[in-house]
Amino acid sequence: MRTRTVLTRLTVLTVFLLVLAACGGGGQAGTSAPAAPAGGQAAAPASGQAAGSTASSNVDANGKFKTPQTIEVMATVRSSELAPPGADWIVAKAVKDQLNIDLKMTWVTQSNEYDRLLQTRAAANDLPDVFLASPTVVSNLAPQGLLADWTPYLKFMPTFVTEREVEKLKPIGTFDGKLLALVTKTPDPYKQSVMIRKDWLDKLGLQVPKTLDEYLAVMKAFTEKDPDGNGQKDTFGWSAAVDTATGRLLRFNPIFGAFGAEFDTNYPWRVDNNKLVYVPTSNERRDALQFIAQMNAAGVIDADWKAQKDEDFRNKWKAGKIGIWFEDWCAGFCSGNHDPFAKANPTGRTIDIDPPVGPGGKSAVSFWTRLNAARFGMSQKAAQAGKGEAIARFMEWLNGPGNTLTTFGEEGKMWKREGDKITVDQANDYRIVRALSAWSVKGSEEELRSRYDQTTSYPNGENIAVWDILQRAQKIAKVDTTDLAVLPPAPSAQAADITRLQAEGEFQFVTGQRPFSQWDAYVQSLKAAGVDAWQQAAEAKAKEAGLIK
Amino acid sequence: MSSVVETRAQEGRRFSITPFFQALVRDIRRHSVLYLMALPGILYFLIFRYYPMYGAIIAFKDYRVLDGFNGSPWVGFKHFQAIFSSPFFYNVLTNTLLISIYKLIFGLPVAVIFALLLNEVRVAWFKRSVQTITYLPHFLSWVVIFGVLLTTLSPSTGLVNKAIVASGGQPINFMTDPKWFRSVLVVSDIWKDLGWGTIIYLAALAGISPSLYEAAAVDGATRFQRIVYITLPSIVPVIVLVTLLRIGNLLSAGFEQVFVLYNPAVYSVADIIDTWVYRQGIQGFQFSVAAAVGLFKGVVGTVLLVTANWAAKKWAGTGIW
């Protein structure tokens, strides 16, 4: 009885406190909620004017702020195995010295967590002041009124605007007349290519394949004729993987390209005879999937491909089990990345080749876009707090006075200029200093040469000139999707279902779990799941942008 | 208590809460230490479990960040309708329930039997070593276990398939075959948490009075009889408790595990509510949808828990309240 009484009273106390807490919480939310939209509407236009009028008074002749400013920057570290820079980061010190801005850095060490973290912060109206965001994230955040219009601040970042082609790319980042995402040209060269084991070709007396049929024949020989000579049937003609997050087929791009069925996952469209075609349900896509199903049935694809992730795929060709594969050429050939292959394959020789040529002479390694996949975003909160000018001047600094410091680190110590070539020391401590280089790189030849102009001789006798591979990759056939970037992404309420239907469907077709006689039903299911509505929205936008009439 | 009854009688139908609080205050004075000890727990639940529940109202709203929880417009059951009309909803619901139930049915007896076996081990160092070794996988992340599974179950180079081929069978694609994938989920889950799951049973077993065993031994009971007639009945309340708590979580089939292990080949048997919500709600910035699913899970979980507790009291004579 005694315990019962105590229990009863404890319960009553809990409920009472609970009610108190709920009222307290409700009260807080109640008072802050009306304030936010009011501030949002009132302050947005004012902040632009404020930025303009305070420009001359708050900044000295050298562009240094008279009163200290603070901005929060959220960014990923360059590589998950590198620690974020410490408190003595020379870039932050330089920003403080030269601009009087305190950089508050929020580092994300796992890049695949970045979107989720950013969107979680967005949901709590706690976006960092300035950040990079994917097109999908931008389209999620823009209608919420969380992103600031960059327009009033562009005047503080003139060289950035010119060098990164901001004016030309404005339409892509504009929502309802406001420039909510700063779209820039990509600082990267085209990075993909098809790679083949030249030593295996030589051993089996085969030529470099050109057409799809020749590719398939070589894949079969690589799978069945023991090209590594170890007496075991443990090699494969091709390898692939499945995307962890979406379940999409990975590493089949050149095969799709040979059918004209390659698409950009953000913008899965093609303009054909003045019509906007949804590529995933096109006949070309079906034909390409049929060819992959043929490869799969012939057993020439790595037996583990259906369950493996991208890292597993990489380990396979590094271990010397794969004959032909589609890969980022730097992930394949840059020193460091190629080392494990050279060690594991004492007689291995890898070369890059042209992608297969398919029906009607079609050929493409993969899609590519001339745009930086990540867009710069500024939070509306930061703009309201009057941080817009500081953010813009920081961006300008990254592009100008602070460019080489951010990109390469301390001159003389971490990198050297010899003639017109920059030599960069790749020590881990120095790579940590370059944590924000994704923001500062511009894609100039000097910069590209510092990254890719390397010729390395390996213990297995391979001598690889990465710059030559880069040059070849720029000339190779690819599907340019730059112009499609004005089109809207999948409607967010249906996006996940569309992605699953598509990923699951394509997977089942190529693995033989679903016969191609069900293709029409598959297309219908996608249309019903939201593709039809998406197509209408995309067509309207395409007309507006002049892609179709 | 008596004062409350009197108040009620005096005031007719009007119920006054004041005497309750008077009694409470008196009680707090009298048992201040007990209340003090309970306070951190109460605060924990209030702050981290109950206060956030307020946010569940966005399940009935079109959540707009700038308008906040209160300012966002009400939309009634719109998000629930969207969820129930998704082509995948019934598929993910079935998968969630099946995976959870399999884990419960196969996982629970394994943990109990393993605890009983450990309890019978008389060599202390051996018992402790086995315990420690079986705890270890609990501390591995699913990403690591995915690597282990991929290597051991690989159709080309995996240990398991090599054994199958050596004994004349055809290699099985465990990770991509819809017929096998749920078994992979259940077995890997049991393996990972076997040692960890036994802790609670071992604690319960340690609480059984040795005099019971001594008396049974004197009466000539065999070791097996002692397990059946003394050990098992003594830990039934703990088994019921664990089962009930697991039933309350039936709609959570293990997000991390499924998310790391699944692939499109097995979506039809492995996509669960949590993975679907992750893709739809969190990645798609549909927080209202995610909240609606969370609320749905909470309501179903509560109903299941109450029903199961009622059933447990009725048939096993013990429940958690």
Question: How do residues A367-394 score in pLDDT, each as one tens digit?
Answer: 999 999 899 999 999 999 999 999 999 9
Domain co-membership, A230 together with A359: yes
Q: Report how far residue A369's alpha carbon sits from residue A385's, in angstroms, rounded to the nearest whole number.
A: 35
Residues of A in contact with B283 (CB under 8 A): 115-116, 119, 245, 496
H runs (alpha helix) in B2-88: 2-10, 18-30, 32-44, 68-71, 78-85
- Which tokens in the block code for residue B145? 């276990």
Could you tell me which residue, B183 or A2, shows the higher pLDDT?
B183
Beta bridge partners of A107: A75
Q: Report how far residue A425's alpha carbon sits from residue A448's, in angstroms, rounded to the nearest whole number.
A: 15
Domain co-membership, A379 together with A483: no
A2 is a domain residue: no
Q: Please report how many Cα atoms fall inside a 13 Å half-sphere around the Cα of residue B189, on the Cβ side.
A: 24
Average pLDDT score, chain B: 89
Domain co-membership, A203 together with A127: no
Above 60 in pLDDT, residue A4? no
For the ranges A210-219, A310-319, B58-67, the maximum mean pLDDT occurs at A210-219
Domain co-membership, A181 together with A301: no
Above 60 in pLDDT, residue A362? yes
pLDDT reported for residue A44:
39
CA distance, residue A447 to nearest chain B CA (Å): 34
Could you tell me which residue, A336 or A224, shows the higher pLDDT?
A224
Domain co-membership, A200 together with A347: yes
Tell me the ipTM for this assembly: 0.72
H runs (alpha helix) in A153-237: 158-163, 166-173, 198-204, 212-224
User: Nearest Cβ partner of B285 from A5, A140, A246?
Assistant: A140
Domain co-membership, A495 together with A417: no
Domain co-membership, A73 together with A216: no
A531 is a domain residue: yes
Domains of chain B: 1-30 (no CATH), 40-76 (no CATH), 78-315 (1.10.3720.10)
Question: Model confidence over A116-155: pLDDT tens digits?
Answer: 899 999 988 999 999 999 998 999 999 999 999 999 999 9
A50 is a domain residue: no
A211 is a domain residue: yes
Domain co-membership, A155 together with A86: yes
Above 90 in pLDDT, residue B263? no
Domain co-membership, A114 together with A147: yes
Domain co-membership, A361 together with A463: yes
A260 is a domain residue: yes
Q: How many residues does chain A have?
A: 549
pLDDT tier for residue A42 given thresholds of 50, 70 and 90: very low
Beta bridge partners of A103: A71
Domain boundary among A444, A473, A504: A444
CA distance, residue A281 to nearest chain B CA (Å): 18
CB contact (8 A) between residue B87 and residue A141: no
- Which tokens in the block code for residue A374? 């990540």
pLDDT tier for residue A61 given thresholds of 50, 70 and 90: confident
pLDDT tier for residue A15 given thresholds of 50, 70 and 90: low
Residue B291: C-alpha distances to residues B43, B67, B71, B77, B244 (Å): 24, 17, 16, 12, 24
Domain co-membership, A362 together with A385: no
pLDDT tier for residue A35 given thresholds of 50, 70 and 90: very low
Above 70 in pLDDT, residue A2? no
Residues of B in contact with A30 (CB under 8 A): 70
A24 is a domain residue: no
For the ranges A33-47, A91-105, A327-341, the maximum mean pLDDT occurs at A91-105
Question: Model confidence over B153-179: pLDDT tens digits?
Answer: 988 788 999 999 999 998 898 988 899
Domain co-membership, A202 together with A258: yes
B31 touches chain A (CB under 8 A): yes
User: Nearest Cβ partner of B150 from A14, A17, A312?
Assistant: A312
Residue B219: C-alpha distances to residues A39, B150, B209 (Å): 82, 53, 16
Contact by Cβ (8 Å): A161, A184: no
Above 80 in pLDDT, residue A476? yes
pLDDT tier for residue A245 given thresholds of 50, 70 and 90: confident
Q: Report how far residue A510's alpha carbon sits from residue A388's, in angstroms, rounded to the nearest whole number.
A: 50
CA distance, residue B255 to nearest chain A CA (Å): 13
A49 is a domain residue: no
CB contact (8 A) between residue B285 and residue A492: yes
Average pLDDT score, chain A: 89
- Which tokens in the block code for residue A286? 């079906």
Domain boundary among A413, A444, A475: A444
Domain of residue A321, residue span:
192-368+456-544
CATH assignment of the domain containing A321? 3.40.190.10
B268 to chain A: nearest residue by CA?
Answer: A504
Q: Report how far residue A136's alpha carbon sits from residue A152's, in angstroms, rounded to the nearest whole number.
A: 24
Domain boundary among A422, A444, A466: A444
pLDDT reported for residue B20:
84
A142 is a domain residue: yes
pLDDT reported for residue A112:
79
Question: Model confidence over A290-343: pLDDT tens digits?
Answer: 999 999 999 999 998 998 888 889 999 999 999 999 999 999 999 888 999 999
How many separate domains does chain A show?
2
Above 50 in pLDDT, residue A43? no
pLDDT reported for residue A255:
98
